[in-house]
Amino acid sequence: MSRKIAFIASRSEVAQKALSMLSRRYGHAAPDEADVVVALGGDGHMLHTLHKTQKLRAPVYGMNCGTIGFLMNAYREDDLLERLDAAEQEDINPLSMQATRADGTIETHLAINEVSLLRQGPQAAKLSIQVDGRLRLEELVCDGALVATPAGSTAYNYSAHGPILPIGADVLALTAVAAFRPRRWRGALLPKTVRVRFDVREAEKRPVMADADGHSVRDVVSVEVMSEPRVTHSILFDPGHGLQERLIQEQFV
């Protein structure tokens, strides 16, 4: 099957070399004319590519030219067309973050992995947490907290001792980062349909920043997070190496 392929490479020397070789061999279409987008780089570049192409019809197939490559397939120059024909598609929805600063300005960003709140200074953050308008935790003293999607549950969420979520599970992980009070609180599993609101207590004394896949907002006083079903990212994986398999495998290492 003939395919129009758009290659999008990170700035690394390895990725740029791969871009040159693959473009010569398979041709190079504009992203808005392509049948498939091939991202060359690591996981960070894959997230960037998914955000950049979210309004296009073409799915994204990643080839690892980075370090971990959790969202990527193995890099090979040969048989790319055959691999694309055999690839399995997984669709995921991002999170929407609405962050309100102390000056009243609001920023909205999408996050494929997680939305996180982190202390800006030397003192611990103090957060209150509401779920669908109901106060669930009056005061969380911590280095931060995050809401993660299943696709992002093995990233920052996992390093903060949050749970790994199966792809297709209609749940989100709410995870504390270095919780001090309540000391034993490690988070919650929430339905995908909920709206989570964080309010920053003592914001001037204990400033907090919010981040959505690298889009950072400083000096926030409140942050609302919810799944965004109107946006779908389509990712292609080699058979037997999709997100579901990787999420299971990650729990046995």
> Which residues belong to the active site?
43
Give the number of other CB atoms < 10 A from CB of residue 117.
26
CA distance 84 to 92: 19
Backbone angles phi, psi at 176, to 5 degrees: -85, 150
In the DSSP assignment, the letter for residue 35 is S
User: Within a 10 A sphere around the Cβ of 86, how many other Cβ atoms?
Assistant: 11
What secondary structure letter does DSSP report for 47? Answer: H
Cis ω for the linkage preceding 182 (within 30 of 0): yes
Nearest to 1 by CA among 76, 63, 60, 80: 80
- 70 closest CA partner among 41, 94, 96, 99: 41
CB neighbourhood size of 3 (10 A)? 16
Burial track 208-232 (b if 16+ CB lie within 10 A, e otherwise):
bbbbbbebebebbbbbbbbbeeebe
Q: For residue 46, is it left (φ>0), alpha (ψ between -120 and 50) or beta?
A: alpha
Note whether 155 and 238 are within 8 A (CB).
no
Bridge-partner residues for 208, per DSSP? 119
